[in-house]
Structure 1
Amino acid sequence: MAETPVRIVLVDDHEMVLQGLTSMLMPFRDRVRVVGQATGADQAVRLVSGLNPDIVLCDVRLQGASGLDLCQRLIELDPSRRVVLLSVYDDEQYLFQALRVGASGYLIKQITGVELVRQLELVRAGERVIDTALAGRAVDTAARLASGEFWPGARQGLTHRESEVLSFIVTGVSNRGIAQRLVVGEETVKSHLRSIYRKLEVSDRAGAVAVALREGIFR
């Protein structure tokens, strides 16, 4: 008896991306079937709960939310849930974060349809998949982290930019001030803050400062 197609739910805050992925997977509908699409975290939780797909294929960054947070939330609701993160960011720190929250895979959006289908089938079979080029760099990064190299906060899983934001928090710079210094929008700063709080397991600026000082990230 032929194996049934892998049932997936797509999560991305851009309709164009959702349409593009659906079209890319259409020629392989006998192997992978898109059963639902969501553009936000709350919608995704409801959809996944109702459809119970084999895999949730989710962007790392969503409007006003984090794909990493969504991944963790879905797995907390159902520990057997398989979530694969799909991103434009070939940054090993994002990979480490994805693995930390329980993701079943981390793939880069430049992936071909043929390869994506193969990787999704591997995930359904119980394997964890990682973009090949990124996996190689991650091994090197892990070794350097173990030897104490890299930026302040790298051991706590902070990206280089998050480390910069944390340094401003420690010195009392406002969100607006941080945005001006880094030449980004305040919403981007808030997104970094949410990620920092999650990784340091705190809920506010004061908690982040306390951890930064206690752990010697910044003095």
Structure 2
Amino acid sequence: MQTRPLRLVLVDDHEMVLEGLKALLARFRGRVRVVGQAIGADEAEPLVSSLDPDIVVTDVRLRGSASGLDLCQRLVAADPKRRVVLLSAYDDEQYLFQAVRAGAAGYLLKSIDSESLVRQLELAAAGQTVVDPSMAGRAVSSAARLQAGEFWPGAHLGLTQRESEVLGHLVAGLSNRAIAARLVLGEETVKTHVRAIFRKLGVGDRAGAVAFALREGIFQ
């Protein structure tokens, strides 16, 4: 039984988001307490090490070279008992699957209401792996399809469906601008997807991504 408030460290790209989340959680002082906050993974790692919180709550996408998934993996590698919950705007099962592979204790959406958020954090602290209620059913279905091989190219490597589409267009030789027009996306959004593809495939440029895709048979 929980006898004291959970000690939280919050991690996000934007100070305004951190302050808003801290204000929201302040309504539940008897159950949770924010003991630290950090902007980006580089700032978060030493803070978590020094404060040793019950739970680290981090966004998936962070500024710099390390994502929230990278941060989670590093924190859990340093301390396998570390509880990390991803709080994201991205309603994407592949991010959920990557979070689980990285050792996360949960994946929740920023649209979750405050009472549910606190309850899910309590469950995570108690040892459960928590998934946003709005994603749970689809995640189970997607996992079954992934296991059966009924998914998009590159799903087994952690690519989201949109990233798979972008990679296919990279293989076809399209520029970011052409991909944006083809998929009806902003060019900056395409660049974000391309960076995510590089990170997930472990390559440094477009040529490396194309070579990887062809070598591994993701696209012929």
Match of 2:34 in 1: 34
**CA distance in 1 between partners of 2:77 and 2:187 (Å):** 31
**CA distance in 2 between partners of 1:185 and 1:206 (Å):** 19
Match of 1:213 in 2: 214
Shift of 1:150: 2.9
**CA distance in 1 between partners of 2:198 and 2:35 (Å):** 34
Shift of 1:2: 6.6
> Residues 75-134 of structure 1, C-alpha deviation per residue, up to 9 Å, x if partnerless?
233332211001122211111111111111001112222221111111111111111220
Q: Which runs of 5+ in 1 are unaligned?
A: none
SS at match of 1:37: strand
Contact 2:59 2:68 in 1 (8 A): yes
Shift of 1:58: 0.6
> Residues 44-102 of structure 1, C-alpha deviation per residue, up to 9 Å, x if partnerless?
11211221111110111223452112222222333322110011222111111111111
* Higher mean C-alpha displacement, 176-185 vs 160-169: 176-185
Q: Give the number of aligned pairs.
A: 218
* Higher mean C-alpha displacement, 126-135 vs 56-65: 56-65
Match of 1:98 in 2: 99
Alignment of 1:25-64 (within 5 A): 25-64=25-64
> Residues 12-33 of structure 1, C-alpha deviation per residue, up to 9 Å, x if partnerless?
1222221221111112112111
**CA distance in 2 between partners of 1:112 and 1:133 (Å):** 12
> Residues 110-169 of structure 1, C-alpha deviation per residue, up to 9 Å, x if partnerless?
222222111111111111111122011011112222333232212322112211221233
* Higher mean C-alpha displacement, 44-53 vs 71-80: 71-80
Query: CA separation of 1:2/1:56 partners in 2, compared to 1, >3 Å: closer, same or farther?
Result: closer
What one-letter code is carried by the residue in structure 2 that aligns with 1:62? L
Alignment of 1:26-175 (within 5 A): 26-64=26-64, 65-175=66-176
SS at match of 2:135: helix
**CA distance in 1 between partners of 2:101 and 2:204 (Å):** 19
**CA distance in 1 between partners of 2:141 and 2:14 (Å):** 33
**CA distance in 2 between partners of 1:129 and 1:164 (Å):** 29
**CA distance in 2 between partners of 1:136 and 1:31 (Å):** 28
What one-letter code is carried by the residue in structure 1 that aligns with 2:186? V
What one-letter code is carried by the residue in structure 2 that aligns with 1:33? R
TM-score (norm 1): 0.87
Shift of 1:43: 1.0
What one-letter code is carried by the residue in structure 2 that aligns with 1:163? S
* Higher mean C-alpha displacement, 38-47 vs 164-173: 164-173
Query: CA separation of 1:177/1:66 partners in 2, compared to 1, >3 Å: closer, same or farther?
Result: farther
Shift of 1:203: 4.4
SS at match of 2:85: strand
Contact 2:176 2:187 in 1 (8 A): no
**CA distance in 1 between partners of 2:8 and 2:135 (Å):** 24
Contact 2:176 2:191 in 1 (8 A): yes
* Higher mean C-alpha displacement, 93-102 vs 70-79: 70-79
**CA distance in 2 between partners of 1:80 and 1:197 (Å):** 30
RMSD value over aligned CA atoms?
2.3
What one-letter code is carried by the residue in structure 2 that aligns with 1:84? V
What one-letter code is carried by the residue in structure 2 that aligns with 1:110? S
Among the aligned pairs, what percent are the same residue? 69
Q: Which runs of 5+ in 2 are unaligned?
A: none
